[in-house]
Amino acid sequence: MNHQNRENLKLLISERLCFLRRSMDLRQEQVAEYLGVERTTYTAWECGRNCPDALSLKLIVVDLLGYSLDDFLDLKTPIEKISKKKGKKRK
- The C-alpha atoms of residue 58 and residue 80 are separated, in whole angstroms, by 19
Amino acid at 43: T
Q: For residue range 18-71, what is the model confidence (pLDDT) as tens digits? A: 999 999 999 999 999 999 999 999 999 999 999 999 999 999 999 999 998 998
Helix (H) / strand (E) containing 79? none
85, 62 contact by CB (below 8 A): yes
At residue 63's C-alpha, the angle toward residues 62 and 65, to 5°, is 70
User: Which pLDDT band holds residue 80 (cuts at 50, 70, 90)?
Assistant: confident
What single-letter DSSP state applies at residue 37?
Answer: S
The whole-number pLDDT of residue 86 equals 54
